[in-house]
């Protein structure tokens, strides 16, 4: 084992010795690839969106698109673009290593010239590599999907994720075995193909024969390569962890004691972030260089150099690097000013109780709804479906398994059935009397005290959900105190058509395209995809943006600093307290909270059973 470890450390040492070559080349080529690949990815996304009548695709629409022939081809194209980029970067690194140039600009220019001269062959190699991996993986993905369908479809998926019953464990075990077998086969194939790229790049081997020739050359040496690759990856992870630890230590030195140091603190924080990014860039370049050194040793132990084109006198990478540096500086200054404006601006976020106050009472019960109202929630968010006897009831899952262990679908349940199902004891025996409420119950309780955000749930068994909700709301004269939303965009469009004056919005966990162009007065998104750019775009369209499910006080503060209009949370009292405390804070304290969350700090709050919308 020591000789393998020595080989890996020697490769890293060799890459570090050539850092003046590897790092600039890596940086310049990455910038070039971003410029080349971004339009291709944008084209694929635009194609996906153009095939619909929407400005964006969300959750279910994305899944349906990917399952269509055009969607599958588009996803393969996008994946191919990213894989081709990796092939291109590694080719430049391997080429510069083989050429033995010590000047980074000469090495980079010569390597690029070599690769461009072999580009058709490299493209053919990349396409064949992608197809080989996909053909190898697809049967295993299909088997994993069949296992999931066989074991995890009898009840609502939230039941399996919450309780992890024997069927869930069987699924995990079987799918885990499938993944391990696939990983083993991939490692075998990849170790056999390790020299295919070198053969295409340096010996002019045709892509169609390069894989077979590589397998022949690697015969008897695959085991050694596997061990060295594992050690190479482990060393990279250790170095990355050390860099992160140093960055966290530097972050603790940010001067945020008083408001007079705000700009200094902001500058210092961006310096820390910049150093962290730079260290990550150097590590990525060094690790890729070390991999090139490792594989080069398998390709030609004599280290024979190859002839290469003479680089042009105009050193284009210099201009690329300088231009990129100036652009990065401008972006940093603009981002800093934008952040400064946000942390100084007053908050305008509303508090939206997720399924009531689901952290303190059993979700979607009257106890939870009343607690949210008591805790001062601006909105109470609930999920509604139709029962078997056409009553609108408050229920999130498709059945009662998660809340009560009762195998009964919501659309098959009558109100008599619902009256016998205890949905509160799972939380605490104190709530054993809780039963599934109706929408009428919630509206009557909230009238004059809080507004109600109604999520329309669809499991393929709805009959006239939208009209029944409308009739009930209008009967209670609460049109101005309700809003509706759904993961199903056609339902949002239908509600806007039925009641154009009502407040309605799109709910999205993931999205491609322009969310701000969808119908409705607001969008409600997973906090993980809420970026300053998205928030600004939604606001520019004259709409509001809500984020879910925000239960950590630091994340609540960060979202408020970013300018969101609503915090969907299981802890409305905590959210109100965070906003109250923020109102008394100066910009320095707000900046500290924002930075703490940005660098991964969290408050240890009780994990929720289900944080889905």
Helices (H) and strands (E) in the chain, counts: 23, 13
**How much is the pLDDT for 229?**
86
Question: How does pLDDT run across 451-482, given as a tens digit for each residue?
Answer: 999 999 999 898 999 999 999 999 999 999 99
The reply to whether 488 and 510 lie within a common domain is yes
**How much is the pLDDT for 338?**
53
Q: Considering the domain boundaries, does residue 104 fall inside one?
A: yes
535, 82 Cβ separation under 8 angstroms: no
Greater confidence (95 vs 381) lies with: 381
Q: Of 351-360, 365-374, 586-595, which range is least confident? A: 586-595
Q: What is the mean pLDDT of residues 364-391?
A: 97
* CA pair distance 393, 387, nearest whole angstrom: 7
Q: What is the mean pLDDT of residues 28-55?
A: 70
Check the CA dihedral 262-266-271-272 and report its sign.
Answer: positive
Q: Would you place residue 381 in the very low, low, confident or very high pLDDT band (cuts 50, 70, 90)?
A: very high
**How much is the pLDDT for 332?**
46
The reply to whether 310 and 355 lie within a common domain is no
Q: Considering the domain boundaries, does residue 147 fall inside one?
A: no
Q: Considering the domain boundaries, does residue 444 fall inside one?
A: yes
**How much is the pLDDT for 299?**
80
Q: Of 299-313, 575-589, 597-611, which range is least confident? A: 299-313
CA distances from 242 to 15, 91, 235, 237, 239 (A): 19, 28, 11, 9, 5
Q: Among 312, 340, 368, give the residue marking a domain's end.
A: 340
Greater confidence (413 vs 41) lies with: 413
**How much is the pLDDT for 610?**
62
Question: How does pLDDT run across 153-206, given as a tens digit for each residue?
Answer: 999 999 999 999 999 999 999 999 999 999 999 888 988 998 898 898 888 899
Q: Which segments of 37-144 are extended strands (E)?
A: 56-58
Closest residue by Cα to residue 609 from 353, 362, 351: 362
**CATH code for position 586:** 3.20.20.190
Greater confidence (347 vs 435) lies with: 435
Closest residue by Cα to residue 273 from 602, 604, 603, 594: 594
Q: Of 6-20, 124-138, 313-327, 545-559, which range is least confident? A: 313-327
505, 58 Cβ separation under 8 angstroms: no
Question: How does pLDDT run across 254-306, given as a tens digit for each residue?
Answer: 665 544 455 566 667 667 777 888 888 899 989 998 998 888 888 864 444 54
Q: Considering the domain boundaries, does residue 171 fall inside one?
A: no
Host H or E run for residue 440: helix 439-446
**How much is the pLDDT for 302?**
45
Whether 321 shows a pLDDT value over 50: the answer reads: no
Q: Would you place residue 333 in the very low, low, confident or very high pLDDT band (cuts 50, 70, 90)?
A: very low
Q: Among 276, 308, 340, give the residue marking a domain's end.
A: 340
Domain that holds residue 407: 345-598
Closest residue by Cα to residue 380 from 568, 234, 565: 568
- Bridge partners (DSSP) of residue 409 are 399
Q: What is the mean pLDDT of residues 39-65?
A: 72
The reply to whether 305 and 450 lie within a common domain is no
Burial of 548 (0-12, 13-18, 19+ CB in 10 A): buried
Q: What is the mean pLDDT of residues 430-436?
A: 96
**How much is the pLDDT for 303?**
46
Q: Would you place residue 308 in the very low, low, confident or very high pLDDT band (cuts 50, 70, 90)?
A: very low
Closest residue by Cα to residue 434 from 369, 388, 383: 369
Q: Considering the domain boundaries, does residue 159 fall inside one?
A: no
The reply to whether 327 and 373 lie within a common domain is no
Q: Among 340, 368, 401, give the residue marking a domain's end.
A: 340
Q: Would you place residue 341 in the very low, low, confident or very high pLDDT band (cuts 50, 70, 90)?
A: low
Q: What is the mean pLDDT of residues 241-248?
A: 87
The reply to whether 309 and 373 lie within a common domain is no
369: left (phi over 0), alpha (psi -120 to 50) or beta: alpha
Burial of 535 (0-12, 13-18, 19+ CB in 10 A): buried
Greater confidence (236 vs 561) lies with: 236
Please tell me the total count of domains within the chain: 2
Count CA atoms closer than 13 A to 147's CA, side-chain side: 19
Q: Average pLDDT of the chain?
A: 83
Q: Considering the domain boundaries, does residue 188 fall inside one?
A: no
Q: Considering the domain boundaries, does residue 474 fall inside one?
A: yes
The most confident of 114-118, 275-279, 604-608, by mean pLDDT? 275-279
Residue 545 per-residue DSSP state: E
* CA pair distance 466, 440, nearest whole angstrom: 14
Whether 136 shows a pLDDT value over 60: the answer reads: yes
**How much is the pLDDT for 313?**
43
Q: Considering the domain boundaries, does residue 161 fall inside one?
A: no
The reply to whether 334 and 378 lie within a common domain is no
The reply to whether 583 and 549 lie within a common domain is yes
Whether 69 shows a pLDDT value over 90: the answer reads: no
The reply to whether 412 and 263 lie within a common domain is no
**How much is the pLDDT for 604?**
54
| Residue 478: φ, ψ to 5° | -120, 25
The most confident of 19-33, 160-174, 597-611, by mean pLDDT? 160-174
The reply to whether 323 and 280 lie within a common domain is yes
The reply to whether 398 and 446 lie within a common domain is yes
**How much is the pLDDT for 197?**
87
The torsion angle over the Cα atoms of residues 188, 141, 509 and 607, rounded to 10 degrees, is -70
The reply to whether 125 and 26 lie within a common domain is yes
* CA pair distance 460, 170, nearest whole angstrom: 28
Q: Enter the pTM of the model.
A: 0.79
**How much is the pLDDT for 596?**
60
364, 381 Cβ separation under 8 angstroms: no
Q: What is the mean pLDDT of residues 490-512?
A: 93
Percent of the chain exceeding pLDDT 90 equals 45
The reply to whether 519 and 573 lie within a common domain is yes
Q: Of 37-46, 284-293, 444-453, which range is least confident? A: 37-46
Q: Would you place residue 511 in the very low, low, confident or very high pLDDT band (cuts 50, 70, 90)?
A: confident
């Amino acid at each position: 084992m020591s000789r393998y470890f020595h080989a890996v450390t020697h490769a890293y040492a060799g890459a570090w010795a050539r850092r003046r070559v590897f790092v600039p080349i890596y940086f310049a080529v990455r910038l070039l690839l971003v410029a080349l690949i971004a339009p291709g990815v944008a084209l694929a996304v635009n194609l996906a969106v153009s095939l619909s009548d929407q400005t964006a695709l969300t959750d279910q629409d994305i899944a349906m698109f990917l399952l269509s022939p055009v969607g599958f081809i588009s996803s393969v194209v996008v994946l191919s673009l990213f894989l081709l980029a990796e092939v291109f970067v590694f080719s430049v690194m391997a080429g510069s290593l083989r050429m033995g140039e010590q000047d980074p600009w000469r090495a980079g220019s010569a390597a690029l010239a070599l690769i461009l001269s072999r580009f058709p062959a490299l493209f053919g190699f990349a396409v064949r590599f992608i197809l080989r991996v996909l053909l190898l993986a697809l049967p295993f993905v299909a088997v994993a999907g069949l296992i999931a369908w066989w074991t995890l479809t009898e009840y609502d998926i939230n039941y399996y994720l919450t309780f992890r019953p024997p069927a869930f464990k069987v699924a995990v075990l079987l799918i885990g075995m499938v993944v391990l077998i696939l990983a083993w086969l991939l490692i075998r194939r990849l170790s056999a193909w390790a020299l295919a790229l070198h053969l295409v790049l340096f010996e002019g081997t045709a892509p169609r024969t390069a894989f077979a020739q590589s397998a022949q050359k690697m015969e008897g040496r695959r085991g050694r390569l596997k061990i060295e690759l594992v050690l190479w990856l482990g060393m990279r992870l250790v170095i990355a962890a050390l860099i992160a630890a140093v960055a966290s230590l530097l972050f603790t030195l940010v001067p945020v004691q008083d408001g007079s140091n705000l700009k200094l603190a902001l500058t210092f924080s961006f310096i820390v972030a910049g150093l962290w990014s730079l260290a990550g860039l150097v590590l990525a370049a060094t690790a890729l260089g070390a991999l090139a050194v490792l594989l080069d040793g398998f390709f030609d132990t004599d280290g024979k150099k190859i002839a290469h084109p003479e680089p042009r006198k105009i050193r284009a990478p210099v201009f690329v690097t300088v231009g990129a540096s100036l652009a990065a500086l401008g972006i940093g200054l603009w981002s800093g000013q934008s952040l400064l404006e946000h942390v100084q601006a007053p908050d305008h976020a509303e508090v939206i109780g997720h399924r009531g106050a689901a952290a303190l009472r059993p979700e979607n019960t009257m106890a939870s709804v009343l607690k949210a109202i008591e805790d001062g929630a601006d909105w109470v968010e609930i999920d509604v479906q139709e029962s078997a006897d056409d009553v609108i009831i408050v229920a999130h899952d498709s059945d009662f398994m998660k809340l009560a262990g009762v195998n009964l679908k919501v659309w098959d349940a009558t109100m008599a059935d619902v009256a016998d199902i205890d949905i509160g004891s799972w939380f605490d025996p104190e709530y054993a009397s809780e039963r599934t409420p109706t929408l009428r119950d919630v509206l009557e309780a909230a009238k004059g005290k809080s507004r109600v955000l109604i999520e329309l749930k669809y499991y393929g068994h709805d009959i006239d959900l939208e009209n029944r909700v409308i009739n009930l709301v209008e009967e209670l004269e609460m049109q101005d105190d309700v809003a509706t939303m759904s993961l199903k965009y056609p339902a949002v469009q239908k509600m806007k058509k039925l009641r154009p004056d009502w407040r309605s919005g799109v709910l999205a966990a993931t999205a491609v395209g322009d969310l701000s162009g969808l119908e409705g007065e607001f969008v409600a998104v997973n906090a993980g995809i809420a970026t300053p750019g998205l928030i600004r775009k939604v606001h520019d369209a004259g709409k509001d943006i809500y984020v879910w499910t925000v239960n950590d006080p630091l994340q609540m503060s960060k979202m408020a600093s970013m300018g969101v209009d609503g915090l969907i949370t299981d802890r409305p009292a905590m959210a109100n307290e965070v906003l109250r405390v923020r109102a008394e804070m100066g910009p320095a304290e707000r900046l500290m909270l924002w930075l703490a969350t940005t660098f991964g700090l969290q408050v240890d709050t009780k994990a929720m059973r289900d944080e889905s919308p």
